[in-house]
Structure 1
Amino acid sequence: MDGERASAWADLSRLPPKTRGLLLLGGTGRTHLLEAGRAALVEAETHGPEASALGLDLFLAAFESSPLDGGLARFVMDLWSRAGTGGMSAVPKKTAALVMASAVRAAPPDDPAALGELARLAGLRDHQGLLAYLAGRVRTQPQRLYWRGHLFDVAYLLQDWETVRTVLGMSWPPGFELVRAKVAGDLLFQAGRYDEAATRYARAAPLRQALWRRAECLTRRDGPLVSPDARAAWQAVLCAAPWNVGPVLRLHDRLAGCDRPGPPLAARVAVCLYTYNNAVELDASLAALFASDLCGARVTVLDNGSGGATADVLSGWRDRIGDGLSVVTLPVNIGAPAARNWLAALPWIAEADYVAYLDDDALVPPDWLAFFASAARIYPMAGVYGCRVVDLAGPGRVQHADTHLLEPGQDGMPAVSSICTQDLDFGQFCHLRPAASVTGCCHLFRTGALRACGPFDIRFSPTQYDDLDHDLRLLALGAPPVYQGHLRVSHARLSTTFSSPDRTAMANSQGNLVKLGGKHPPEVLSAMRRAMRDVLLEDYRRKRSVVDQALGQARES
């Protein structure tokens, strides 16, 4: 990529507005990259050939994240042909060869019955059935990589690395060496063998996903320092995808020391949980909590009218902890919003400087409060600080990261980003920055902001969207939430991808979404989204300057 174009794409303020807004959210996730690519091509009608070139590059990046998608490969080739001689001019030869090989070898089969069965199993969320069906197709049609690509998708989602290893070891047609090297790197990365993974990812260059993961591997290997080879790896990532904010945010935090826990807050902290008939998971959550460094924080649990097993768990912990644990017992389940309000009104909590709310099935690491302390020092005016939440059963699956507002849908209902659910965790959500909302699974409030914003709205009882509503109100007060992605909290409750649909819960969720839209109509949400886009742009530009200066100094030395 020529320097002038790279410089233009790195300065997101020079990009068309809709494309800029999407890229500020992140540069990962096949679906997200496709959406950004479509936006760029649409905006090319008014912003000229540079927007068109960016759209082509974003579609190519989407393919690189799913290189066995033959349909997408054919679409990219069609875009190249429409662009004429300039379509492929900036594409590395190895990448172009992979696109052409995938268009042939990974094309969808002309078999409506087989494709229908695939769609049926996917619609049922029958992941094990999908895995078995696809494994059978791969065995009978080993040269048709369409099935192999879908098998990888499901195995990654399930984190069934043995299946991934088996498929990787099968015979492959020529032209897919880059894919095999990247998958081999992924296996090693998820096993924590970062040095070996970096070697495999190097063989997958110039795939940009592999470049990014290699840089992350070298950074994890090096510890607090950023070695010369890690700096060179990050420089390669930024040169290959200058529009990608993710590597900039990640490298900035390492260079500035923002990705490490800080000293304890010189303040009073109250830690609050509320529970209802969840004795086993509550017990595990309290065990993790009291094994952590609470820095003198007092823990309070509100029992929402649970049965005897929960009372026994709480009684046992009271015997062990003593005055460090307070228990409030209610006769009925008053729901999440009211439980938070009840806790916030307790005198010893109202007098605290910070209040943390945790779900009763969230497992915190030992230094969780220290990570929040770091975020509070760097962004002192935030109203609330959130974290990265992963599935306890599959820690590579990210349930929540930084949430951002999207344009309201055609029905006018609020819409938020879901980039973190489009890929496994390879470090791309390890950053610290403002957001429109953070997860209520584990978050820390400034008590003053909590009071100024007012109580959680009990109209969202028993749960769902009460925390998002509260975050939007903080945003309106000029105290936007801040996402601390270097703090990882495990959540025992499965992500919605795996949980069985509950018609009552789904109806409640949909009803609460309608309420949320009524409280925050489209014009208000649009104004919030524009305001947050400016906040994110300024945050990115500041961090990009730090990164460019550091990499420039490294090159000069």
Structure 2
Amino acid sequence: MHGVSGRYHLETTARLALTHAMDGHALRRDAAGQTCARLGASLLALAWEYDPLDGALARDALTAAGMVPDLPLPREAMVAAVHHFETPAEAQQLRQAQMDRDLDRVRLLCGRMLLDAPGSAFWMREAVALAVYRGELDWLDSLLQRFQEHAPRPLAWVAQRLMGDVRLFGGDPEAARSLYAKAMAQVRALEGGEGETLCQLRLAESFWRMDRVDRAAPLWQQALNQRPWLTSHLLMVHDRLAGIADVLEVPRDPVAICLYSFNKAADLNLALESIAQSRLHGARLVVLDNGSTDATPGILAAWRARLKDRLTTIQLPVNIGAPAARNWLLAAPEVRACGDIIFMDDDATVPEDWLERLFAAKARYPEAGVWGCKVVDAGAPWRIQSADFQLAEPPPMAEPGGFAPAYPRRIRLSGVHHEDMDVGQHDYLRPCASVTGCCHLFTREGLERAGGFDLRFNPTQYDDLEHDLRLCRRGEFPVYQGSLAIVHKKVSGKSSQQERRAMASSLGNLYKLEMDYTDEEVQDLRERCLAMLLADMHAKAAALEAYGMRPVRSAWCSGV
């Protein structure tokens, strides 16, 4: 129910299903065992599609598929991945550079090795991961061009699909469509060329971005029929075909947009510029300068001159931390006069219709306690930083590192959105356990019922999650608006000592949060969240028929 996306999430779920399919060393013959075997093999096959140059994963997928002889698979391509994936002697240098977080050295090594062996699956796989992370699409494209020429024939389609991703991320869906179509044709020309679900979904996304829903819808249907447990895509398809993704709503009550900032003058200026350029419908801005010693006071003075009485600024002599800054803003008369309150980070930028999309979420789920959105990376906007967070099973013990003790864990959030690039799979609207504090909307009445932000979580980290879980306990579950994506900068360049201090503070706050709950209370919250997600999913799966699609089989009810 948390979503389906990416190699590692799919692989983990597949191995769990395959474990349930076995009775010792033998495959179970009952209906439940056969269902688990088919589900596990299908999940593992799709995991390989997300990482098609990993020969070890291809071998595991083929082995699992042996338990389900009629499973559609691009077998020739998978066999080629097994035979042509070799770990080179230089792999140790690569791993050391990665451990040192020396990405320039990783890039240099990948480039040099692919110059010598342009058809190497190992080095191409490493280069893809690095280029996507760093946003070096031109470099990646040049490597893929050469890989396509030198790779084994059954793996040439991988280059086509990845070059399609480069075009899609670069804003050219027409060029992406052509490459995805070629990749699908190449897979289907291979022996056993079936099961290319990811190519179908990518091709459908390119059609959607070209405003060709008539071409996208049949591809979505094929993919959902083939993999009926694609919950993220089921939700996305529902909202797009129902028109929910296009709904905008104008605020009815006065709105306060609140920001607090500490020594981020340039970022704050960009954030205010993006807000000012958007459709605000009379909303007012309230900015708290949290003891900045840089150019922030001058930036705010310039914005006061520009926005006049639409902007209120608050100047504090010292940094009082994030939760205290939020509460200070909530107590400001200008904010207290508003029925709706939005908190936004000082290093985020918004699209023109952001306010209307947040209020569309509020109109559709008025019972929620908070409404949030998707957050993407400023340096690589195809990378999702935050989406809908759900409560997942925690690991047995926390293992934060050598400088902090292990302890029993109680709270863990799903991270499915980190598993793949943003290709529309999280463009849906639904309830969840938490939304990012980077940009979220509250009602004044809701905040008064739930209370303010907990000062125990100073200076920052987990104060927003603690507040969201408080709302969950009240039955006012947060709601995620995936059709709104805001762009957020990531802090980088800190010294290792600063990182250690920040990590220590974050771990301390996580420990405080987890000790607020008993195991039984967290389990109850997880069960309530799962029931809510199942009800939402059932309703949307049933509604798909009304939007021109045949009903999707309910295999996702297995809990994937």
Which residue number in structure 1 is paired with residue 132 of structure 2? 156
* Contact 2:120–2:151 (8 Å) recurs in 1: no
Matched residues in 2 for 1:253 and 1:497: separation? 40
Moved more, 295-304 or 133-142: 133-142
Q: What amino acid maps onto 1:49 in structure 2?
A: Q
Which residue number in structure 1 is paired with residue 401 of structure 2? none
Deviations 1:290-322 (A, max 9, x none): 111111111101111112511111111111111
* Contact 2:135–2:379 (8 Å) recurs in 1: no
2:537 equivalent among 536, 540, 544: 540
Alpha-carbon offset, residue 80 of structure 1: 3.4
1:91 counterpart = 2:72: yes
Which residue number in structure 1 is paired with residue 29 of structure 2? none
Matched residues in 2 for 1:120 and 1:471: separation? 39
* Contact 2:289–2:313 (8 Å) recurs in 1: yes
* SS class of match (2:482): strand
* Contact 1:305–1:333 (8 Å) recurs in 2: yes
Which residue number in structure 2 is paired with residue 51 of structure 1? 36
Moved more, 163-172 or 323-332: 163-172
Q: What amino acid maps onto 2:228 in structure 1?
A: P
1:146 counterpart = 2:122: yes
Matched residues in 2 for 1:103 and 1:333: separation? 56
Matched residues in 1 for 2:20 and 2:332: separation? 53
Matched residues in 2 for 1:63 and 1:495: separation? 32
Which residue number in structure 1 is paired with residue 515 of structure 2? 518
Which residue number in structure 2 is paired with residue 126 of structure 1? 102
2:462 equivalent among 462, 465, 469: 465
Moved more, 156-165 or 377-386: 156-165
Moved more, 310-319 or 229-238: 229-238
1:476 counterpart = 2:462: no
1:490 equivalent among 487, 492, 502: 487
Which residue number in structure 2 is paired with residue 417 of structure 1? 414
Matched residues in 1 for 2:276 and 2:220: separation? 38
* Contact 1:363–1:491 (8 Å) recurs in 2: yes
* SS class of match (1:48): helix
Alpha-carbon offset, residue 532 of structure 1: 0.8
Equivalences for residues 71-220 of structure 1 within 5 A: 71-81=56-66, 83=67, 86=68, 88-92=69-73, 95-109=74-88, 111=89, 114-170=90-146, 171-205=150-184, 206-220=195-209
| Distance of aligned partners of 1:269 and 1:386 in 2 relative to their CA distance in 1, 3 Å threshold | same
Which residue number in structure 2 is paired with residue 14 of structure 1? none
| Distance of aligned partners of 1:31 and 1:190 in 2 relative to their CA distance in 1, 3 Å threshold | same
* SS class of match (2:222): helix
Alpha-carbon offset, residue 244 of structure 1: 0.3
Q: What amino acid maps onto 1:405 in structure 2?
A: L
Which residue number in structure 2 is paired with residue 338 of structure 1? 324
1:65 counterpart = 2:58: no
1:41 counterpart = 2:18: yes
Which residue number in structure 1 is paired with residue 441 of structure 2? 444
What TM-score results when the alignment is normalised by the length of structure 1? 0.89
* Contact 1:294–1:369 (8 Å) recurs in 2: yes
Structure 2 residue runs of 5 or longer lacking an equivalent are: 24-31, 185-194, 398-407, 552-560
| Distance of aligned partners of 1:496 and 1:468 in 2 relative to their CA distance in 1, 3 Å threshold | farther
Matched residues in 1 for 2:324 and 2:250: separation? 30
Which residue number in structure 2 is paired with residue 7 of structure 1? none
Q: What amino acid maps onto 2:250 in structure 1?
A: P
Alpha-carbon offset, residue 241 of structure 1: 1.3
Structure 1 residue runs of 5 or longer lacking an equivalent are: 1-23
Alpha-carbon offset, residue 494 of structure 1: 4.4
Alpha-carbon offset, residue 495 of structure 1: 7.9
Deviations 1:519-544 (A, max 9, x none): 13332222111111111111111111
Matched residues in 2 for 1:99 and 1:538: separation? 37
Alpha-carbon offset, residue 44 of structure 1: 2.7
2:225 equivalent among 213, 228, 239: 239
Deviations 1:468-501 (A, max 9, x none): 1110111111011111111111112248999997
1:353 counterpart = 2:339: yes
| Distance of aligned partners of 1:245 and 1:499 in 2 relative to their CA distance in 1, 3 Å threshold | farther
* SS class of match (1:68): coil
Deviations 1:2-52 (A, max 9, x none): xxxxxxxxxxxxxxxxxxxxxx11111111111111221233358311111
| Distance of aligned partners of 1:281 and 1:351 in 2 relative to their CA distance in 1, 3 Å threshold | same
* Contact 2:177–2:203 (8 Å) recurs in 1: yes
* SS class of match (2:256): strand
Deviations 1:404-442 (A, max 9, x none): 111122123221111222222111121111111111011
Matched residues in 2 for 1:195 and 1:237: separation? 21
| Distance of aligned partners of 1:499 and 1:180 in 2 relative to their CA distance in 1, 3 Å threshold | farther
* Contact 2:258–2:341 (8 Å) recurs in 1: yes
2:391 equivalent among 376, 400, 405: 405
Alpha-carbon offset, residue 140 of structure 1: 2.4
Aligned residues: 520
* Contact 1:39–1:55 (8 Å) recurs in 2: yes
Alpha-carbon offset, residue 177 of structure 1: 3.0
| Distance of aligned partners of 1:96 and 1:500 in 2 relative to their CA distance in 1, 3 Å threshold | farther
* Contact 2:134–2:379 (8 Å) recurs in 1: no
* Contact 2:379–2:489 (8 Å) recurs in 1: yes
| Distance of aligned partners of 1:498 and 1:277 in 2 relative to their CA distance in 1, 3 Å threshold | closer
Alpha-carbon offset, residue 63 of structure 1: 0.5
Which residue number in structure 1 is paired with residue 262 of structure 2? 276
* Contact 1:105–1:143 (8 Å) recurs in 2: no
Q: What amino acid maps onto 1:521 in structure 2?
A: T
Matched residues in 2 for 1:208 and 1:124: separation? 36
What TM-score results when the alignment is normalised by the length of structure 2? 0.89
CA RMSD of aligned residues (A): 2.2
Matched residues in 1 for 2:361 and 2:509: separation? 30
Alpha-carbon offset, residue 106 of structure 1: 1.8
* SS class of match (1:444): strand
Q: How much identity, in percent, do the aligned residues show?
A: 37
* Contact 2:65–2:71 (8 Å) recurs in 1: no
Matched residues in 2 for 1:494 and 1:303: separation? 19
Matched residues in 1 for 2:497 and 2:253: separation? 42
Which residue number in structure 1 is paired with residue 277 of structure 2? 291
Matched residues in 2 for 1:424 and 1:254: separation? 19
| Distance of aligned partners of 1:269 and 1:120 in 2 relative to their CA distance in 1, 3 Å threshold | same
Matched residues in 1 for 2:504 and 2:550: separation? 56
